[in-house]
A and B are shown apart, each in its own frame.
Chain A
Amino acid sequence: MATTKTPSRLVLNGLLNENPIFRLALSMCPAVGISTTVMNGLMLGTAVLFVQVCSSCTIAAIKNYIHPRIRIPTYTLTIATWVTVIDLVLSAYAPEAYKAMGIFIKLIVAFAIITMRLEVFACKNTVAMSFWDGLGMGLGFMFGMVTLGFIRELLGMGTLLGHNVLGFRPLLFFALPLAGFFCVGFMMAIFNYVELVFNRRKKRRG
């Protein structure tokens, strides 16, 4: 693993192997709560991407000055600072989307995925590496949110990004906020199935 840390590998790792939502099962709250439309997923994904990349870089840059015993509070405060930045920026420049997101933008602070990446990766690697890792994780989160949003918006409302695609509403149930639970469950099952088939083939070949 240690020898294959190229930027593309890191990004792909975040997107597929360690996808924050479907593989690591972290940061589930927004995945269930507000993945009702593609737009929501894109906006929150962008915000998380920004916070993840910025705080990864910050921690990687100052990692030598942090006392190990207070590292978790330091991570939290770093994340909180960047979340405050994105919170103020979004409320100024995209007030509509900000309203749709509600409390979730502020709650990025408490998303386990960001703290986990800081603890596992950024505090041991260089700024450049952490940047790519953060980018991968952020993109992976965004990918998960957009996929969920795609399924739910298409099936629930028959629209995509607000444009009417199907012309009818196949399953209104998916537009309900609580359908997120079922959606995430089904997606995880699909990921599990792919892994199962993959492993079976590998075994047969071996």
Chain B
Amino acid sequence: MARLRRITYLTLGFLLLAYLLVFSGCAGSQNRFIKKTSFRGTHSILITFAGPVDEEWATKASNYRVYEKPDPDIVLKISTIELSTNRQTVILHFEEPLNQNQPHMVTMRGIMTEGKSVGTAIVKVRKLYLGYLFSILIGAMLVQNFVFTKYLGLCVFFGTSQKRSTAVGMGVTFTIVIVASAMMSWFLYQFFLKPFHLDFLQIIVFIGLVSLSVQAVDTILRKVNPMLFKAFGVYLVLVIANCIILAVPLILADNEYNAAESLMLALGAGLGFLIALFLMSSVRERLELANVPPTYRGLPIAFVVAGLFALAFLGFSGMSIF
């Protein structure tokens, strides 16, 4: 039990690291005259200036150019502009609702304050970064659960969900391995594969990295905790055969996530797998006592149960927290 607790502390340590990364990732480059930008409601962007701006400049729509960061060619149409009485905040209302999952860029040409110009500013508007990261974590854990809504990692899922203790052990190990290997493969992809245009090698490199980290965990666990090793040393090898461990680096590479986002997705995938394993093992322990028709005994009934779980998880779809 104490050993298991140690692993839990390790996981908590990872979480702490995640938060540190989040805070370091918050700082962005912005014009000094712009104090704050944020979304307001579904249709508007709020901009706070450091000093009062001239009304004539502020209410002219052609001074602003707003677009979503991925496609700079599509300029969003501003319907009205609202200036507060102290002339320090401007609210831009748009004709169509904004896709708040994408960061928006706002270009303000020649900002006039008290009759003189302080230059052009390009600022980024995005949702609270912490909230965004949290939504990635929850998304990978529940809304887009890798087992029940993406149907990955099923071999290992059905193999290790017979007993609750094994399920928890497997889930925790898997979380650790996936976080380590996903971070390594993110690093390799961003700094080696992409700059040298070796994208086509990604499958080989990722699977190689996964094998390496599994081997490392194997060696460490054998020394540190022989009991735990005995319990699921067999399944440690199966981690390589788990599609999720390869799917996460591929998704990271496709979506161009940064370090903090990658960490969150990997952690979410691991925890989601842990949740799925735990739920499934709880049911399967009860199933052992149930009177199941002989043809359905074992795997078939497990599949039907997993299907019911997947139906339940369908209820999470479309949910967004921030």
Q: Are A178 and B307 in contact (CB under 8 A)?
A: yes
Binds A, one of B77-85, B115-123, B236-244, B262-270: B236-244
**Chain A 179-198: CB-based contact to B (< 8 A → 1; otherwise 0):** 11110111011101100100
Q: Are A29 and B154 in contact (CB under 8 A)?
A: yes
**Chain B 30-65: CB-based contact to A (< 8 A → 1; otherwise 0):** 000000000000000000000000000000000000
Q: Are A107 and B208 in contact (CB under 8 A)?
A: no
A84 within 8 A of B: yes
**How far, in whole Å, are A76 and B250 apart by their CA atoms in the complex?**
17
A73 within 8 A of B: yes
Given the known A-B contacts A179-B307, A185-B300, are A84 and B204 also in contact in the complex, defined by CB atoms under 8 Å?
Answer: yes
A165 within 8 A of B: no
A residues in contact with B155, CB < 8 Å: 25-29, 112
Q: A14 → chain B, closest Cβ, in Å?
A: 18
A66 within 8 A of B: no
A residues in contact with B294, CB < 8 Å: 192, 196
Residues from 198 to 252 in B contacting A, C-beta threshold 8 Å: 200-201, 203-204, 207-208, 211, 237-238, 240-243, 245-247, 250-251
Main secondary structure of the interface of B (DSSP, over half): helix
A59 within 8 A of B: no
Partner of A106, one of B148, B238, B246, B295: B246
**How far, in whole Å, are A83 and B207 apart by their CA atoms in the complex?**
11
B171 within 8 A of A: no
Chain A contact residue count (CB 8 A cutoff): 41
Residues from 58 to 101 in A contacting B, C-beta threshold 8 Å: 72-73, 76-77, 79-81, 83-84, 87-88
Q: A109 → chain B, closest Cβ, in Å?
A: 5
A175 within 8 A of B: no
Q: Are A88 and B207 in contact (CB under 8 A)?
A: no
Partner of B203, one of A109, A177, A180: A109
Q: Are B303 and A188 in contact (CB under 8 A)?
A: yes
Q: A87 → chain B, closest Cβ, in Å?
A: 7
**Chain A 9-37: CB-based contact to B (< 8 A → 1; otherwise 0):** 00000000000000001111100110000
A residues in contact with B203, CB < 8 Å: 80, 83-84, 87, 106, 109
**How far, in whole Å, are A97 and B307 apart by their CA atoms in the complex?**
26
**How far, in whole Å, are A135 and B234 apart by their CA atoms in the complex?**
28
A2 within 8 A of B: no
Residues from 147 to 204 in A contacting B, C-beta threshold 8 Å: 177-182, 184-186, 188-190, 192-193, 196
Given the known A-B contacts A73-B208, A181-B306, A188-B299, are A29 and B151 also in contact in the complex, defined by CB atoms under 8 Å?
Answer: yes
Q: Are B310 and A29 in contact (CB under 8 A)?
A: no
B275 within 8 A of A: no
**Chain B 154-195: CB-based contact to A (< 8 A → 1; otherwise 0):** 110010000000000000000000000000000000000000
A residues in contact with B151, CB < 8 Å: 29, 32-33, 177-178, 180
B7 within 8 A of A: no
Residues of A within 8 A of B (CB): 25-29, 32-33, 72-73, 76-77, 79-81, 83-84, 87-88, 103, 106-107, 109-112, 115, 177-182, 184-186, 188-190, 192-193, 196
Q: Which 9 residue pairs spanning A and B have beta carbons closest together? A: A181-B307, A185-B303, A33-B151, A178-B310, A28-B154, A112-B241, A188-B300, A189-B300, A80-B204
Residues of B within 8 A of A (CB): 148-155, 158, 200-201, 203-204, 207-208, 211, 237-238, 240-243, 245-247, 250-251, 294-297, 299-304, 306-307, 310-311, 314
